[in-house]
Amino acid sequence: MRFRTIRNLASRVLLAGAVIGSTMAVAAETNDKMTGLPLHPGLSFQQEVDSPVCGKAASMNLYDTPMTTSLEEYIAWYKQQLKSFHYVHKVWGDRAQEMFYSPDGSKGVGITGTPDGKKVFAVTYMKFSSNLTTHQEDAFDPSNPSCK
């Protein structure tokens, strides 16, 4: 009986170590590896996606956010971190889309809000195969894939 208890304890210690280690690894990352742009604290990597933006190839890293995130706080944080970036506010499918594009149009960050507009659903870091123009950044919308 004692062996079973020690074994259970050891399993729990290993699990706790793995969880803490993975949390520390996420917290230690300060920049998105693909774009080099700063990561908001608390983001956890979800997946890589390739998808066209304005008819141009784009690589994207999608990040999950903690359940308690505030859209207003995230917008303020990214405005502070990405001061020279072009900011665009849109609404797609009843969700706020807060977009920040680099001055040369080569990369960007998108914040997707929850339907109530108070929380953050996800954050996307994007790198484009060729630079977007300011017009394309302003026009980008799933219902307007060519951005014309």
List pLDDT tens digits, range 10-36. Answer: 444 343 344 444 443 444 579 999 999
**Who wins on pLDDT, 57 or 146?**
57
The answer for residues whose C-beta is within 8 angstroms of residue 146's C-beta and 6 or more apart is 54, 55
How many domains, in total, are found in the chain? 2
- Beta 107-113 vs 86-92: how paired, if at all? unpaired
Is position 39 within any domain?
yes
Q: How far is CA 99 from the centre of its chain?
A: 11
CA–CA dist 62, 45 (Å, integer): 6
Residues 75 and 5 in one domain: no
Is position 60 within any domain?
yes
Token duo for residue 76: 């303020």
Q: What is the mean pLDDT of residues 53-69?
A: 94
Residues 37 and 69 in one domain: yes
Rg of the chain (C-alpha set): 19
Q: How many Cα atoms within 13 Å fall on the side-chain side of residue 32?
A: 25
Residues 65 and 134 in one domain: yes
Token duo for residue 127: 């790198």
Note the pTM of the prediction, 2 decimals. 0.80
Residues 62 and 95 in one domain: yes
- 3-state percent breakdown (helix, strand, coil) of the chain, nearest 5: 30, 35, 35
Residues 96 and 129 in one domain: yes
Residues 89 and 21 in one domain: no
Question: In the chain, what percentage of residues exceed pLDDT 90?
Answer: 69
Q: Is the pLDDT of residue 126 over 90?
A: yes
In the structure, what pLDDT confidence band is assigned to residue 78 with cuts at 50, 70 and 90? Answer: very high
Residues 134 and 66 in one domain: yes
- Residue-number span of the structural domain to which 63 is assigned: 31-139
Token duo for residue 67: 């359940």
Q: Is the pLDDT of residue 81 over 50?
A: yes
DSSP SS3 for 134: helix
Is position 3 within any domain?
yes
Residues 80 and 20 in one domain: no
Residues 61 and 119 in one domain: yes
Residues 76 and 17 in one domain: no
Is position 48 within any domain?
yes
- Characterize 121-142 residue by residue with b for buried, 16 or more Cβ atoms within 10 angstroms of its Cβ, and e for exposed: ebbbbbbbeeebeeebbebbee
In the structure, what pLDDT confidence band is assigned to residue 70 with cuts at 50, 70 and 90? Answer: very high
